[in-house]
Amino acid sequence: MKLSRRARYALRMMVAIARQTKEKKRISLTQVAKLTDLSRRYLEQLAIALKNVSLIVGKSGKTGGYMLARPAADIKVGQIVEAAIGPINIVECLSQPDLCMLSTGCECRWLYQDINDRITDVLYGYSLQDLADKRHDHNQQ
């Protein structure tokens, strides 16, 4: 299983915003792009998704930019991932059983559900604050 590029980029974006918000400052998408090495155009798309679920707030104009809508400790990693890509769902038949003719008698469905639940538990077990406080050493594995 792979975490999508969109989800990874949303996390990077939110960490950059969280670190700036700590200092009670707004950050422009141009600044976020420089800090994260992501395209401003892609960040604009992510900002819309993150604003739609009230994770960030934006202000236009000369003193504009983005800030977290609430403290980083109150924002779960799972919320960011789901804002970017939708519900965590490793196989479609978990959320839409009618898509699979075998969903009611599937011998593997319980396993898929367990994997999905564990992934969800991990993502909701960490906050944005956890990510923002941790500086990655590129030499570590």
Q: What is the distance between the alpha carbons of residues 44 and 42, in angstroms, rounded to a whole number?
A: 5
User: What's the pLDDT at 25?
Assistant: 83
**pLDDT (0 to 100) of residue 68:** 96
What pairs with residue 68 in β-bridges? 56
Tally the C-alpha atoms within 13 A of residue 132's C-alpha that lie toward its C-beta.
22
- Residue 80 has what pLDDT? 98
Which pLDDT tens digit goes with each residue over 84-135?
A: 999 998 888 887 777 777 767 788 888 989 999 999 999 999 999 999 998 6
**What's the pLDDT score for residue 82?**
96
Give the pLDDT confidence of 28-79 residue by residue, as tens digits.
999 999 999 999 999 999 999 999 999 999 988 888 899 999 999 999 999 9
What predicted TM-score, i.e. pTM, was given to this entire model? 0.87
Q: What is the model's pLDDT at position 135?
A: 65
Q: Which amino acid is at 20?
A: Q
Domains of the chain: 5-133 (1.10.10.10)
Rounded CA gap, 50 and 89, in Å? 19
Question: For position 41, what pLDDT does the model report?
Answer: 95
- In this prediction, residue 141 carries a pLDDT of 42
Taking the C-alpha atoms of 121, 126, 140 and 31 in order, what is their torsion angle to the nearest 10 degrees?
A: 130
Question: What pLDDT is recorded for position 38?
Answer: 96
Q: Averaged over 14-30, what is the pLDDT?
A: 88
Q: What gap in Å lies between CA 87 and CA 78, rounded to an integer?
A: 9
Residue indicated by tokens 């998704």: 49
Segment 12-39 shows an average pLDDT of 91
Q: Which of 81, 36, 34, 31 is nearest to 55 (CA)?
A: 81
